[in-house]
Amino acid sequence: MKTKTKSELEKELIKLRRKITELEKSETQSKQAELENEERRLYLQAVLTNAPDAIITMNAKHKTIMCNQGAEELFGYSCDEMIGNDIDDLIAGADKFEEARDYSKLVLDGKNVSTTESVRYRKDGSPVEVMVAGSPIFIDNKLVGAVAVYTDITDLKRMKYEIEEYSQELEHKVEQLQKLNEELSQYTYAVSHDLRAPLRALINYSRFLQEDFGDKLNEIGKDYIQSIAENALYMEELVVDLLEYSRIGRIKPKTNEVDLGKLLDNIISKLHPGDNVQIILPPKLPIIQGSELHLEQIFSNLLSNAFKFNMTLKPQITVECLDKGNVWEFAVRDNGIGIDPKYFDKIFRIFQRLHTQEEYEGTGIGLAIVKKAIEEQGGTVWVVSAPNKGSVFSFTLPKK
């Protein structure tokens, strides 16, 4: 054997040293990887343990491999009791066994199955309502098992049940209220209807008294009869308005295409506003789908109020109409006495007036009719005003 020279030996030594360093390096790297793997494993273990739901993993033969604390808490079995067993045998119960089997079969066939609501049984036999979610586990495209997540939905179901009960109760109350409302409206209608004939008689007889026996009465007697006639007339006005109010909602009016331009011209000529009153209409008013009767009630009351509650020498009323997509928005603007905002709600209530009969005549039903007619057609009404600053009554009407 040839003896190696000194330089050859030195070269080999260098090579050997290099190899040792490489080996040391790769050992450190694999230790590092091992550490990282252990860390990852512990992290996943912690996620599984601390998850609020019951999580159970199983192998391809449906035997439990792993379970978490949530599963122990929900079903009352320890992990030792679950591991190695078919979970359906433990918790599905006789009534849900088939269903659970079918579900597991689908998951272990590699299908992603949507969550389902069901019942499972605890170790003590008590049922628990759960939401079950199952999903297959693949490693390198090979199905190795499945994971099942069970969420306790007892509270959720109880809340759902309570909400259903409340809404049923509410529906019942609404029905009762609707019935009462209907009865009340029928009662109002019947009373006001029946009051009309005796009232008419009272008005006529007080007129006959004035005409036939007026000269036999002194001034006080004449004043009394005059007062009876005026009050009976006012009562008739009230009864007529009340009848009109009770009709809205009780009888469904016909809806058809209404030419608003024509309708407003008719209303204005019927109201006789006086030469000093200026009413400005939009240059073009649309033809809209609605109840002509309701539209007449709305505009007629708003327009008559606009010049009635007006002390200026030149009352000016402007009607506005805006196309707001799904709804029409109308406004009736005046330069009248205005309204204190604290009365905005009150004035829409029946019989609520802010003035005496001597100051401004009226029955206090007009705006209640307006509100009811607008709401009956699915719209809303509101007012913007201030004392001595005029008022703007706006309302919407859905197009459909």
**Span of 104-112, 123-131, 279-287, 355-363 interacting with ligand ADP by CB under 6 A:** 355-363
Q: Do 74 and 148 contact (CB within 8 A), yes or no?
A: no
Binding of residue 104 to ligand ADP (CB under 6 A): no
Q: Is 315 in the site for ligand ADP (CB under 6 A)?
A: no
Window contacting ligand ADP (CB under 6 A); options: 20-28, 99-107, 149-157, 352-360: 352-360
Q: Is 83 helix (H, G, I), strand (E, B) or coil?
A: coil
Binding flag, residue 123, ligand ADP (CB under 6 A) = no
Strand stretches in the chain, DSSP E: 54-59, 64-67, 113-121, 127-139, 142-152, 256-259, 278-280, 287-290, 316-323, 327-334, 381-385, 391-398
Per DSSP, the residues of 164-197 read HHHHHHHHHHHHHHHHHHHHHHHHHHHHHHHHHH
Q: Please report how close the Cβ of residue 220 comes to ligand ADP at its closest, in angstroms.
A: 31
Stretch that binds ligand ADP, among 4-12, 111-119, 130-138, 359-367 (CB under 6 A): 359-367
Contact between 391 and ligand ADP by CB under 6 A: the answer reads: yes
354 lies in the site for ligand ADP, by CB under 6 A: yes
Closer to ligand ADP by CB, 92 or 332: give it. Answer: 332
301 binds ligand ADP (CB under 6 A): yes
Residues 6+ apart with CB under 8 A from 326: 398, 399, 400
Residue 296 touching ligand ADP (CB under 6 A): no
State residue 86 phi and psi, 5-degree precision. Answer: -80, 120
CB contact at 8 A, 258 and 290: yes
Measure CA 16 to chain center. 81
Q: Least CB distance from residue 313 to ligand ADP, whole Å? A: 17
Angstrom CA distances, 93 to 3, 55, 150, stand at 84, 19, 15
* Residue 395 within binding range of ligand ADP, rule CB under 6 A: no
Residue located via tokens 């309204």: 339
Phi/psi for 348 (5° steps) reads -85, -5
Report if residue 337 touches ligand ADP, rule: CB under 6 A. yes
- Out of 309, 328, 330, 395, name the contact with ligand ADP by CB under 6 A: 309
Using CB under 6 A, which of the segments 116-124, 171-179, 230-238, 304-312 binds ligand ADP?
304-312
Exactly one of 111, 157, 355, 389 binds ligand ADP (CB under 6 A); that residue is: 355
Q: Which residues bind ligand ADP (CB under 6 A)?
A: 301, 305-306, 309, 334, 336-339, 347, 353-355, 362-368, 391
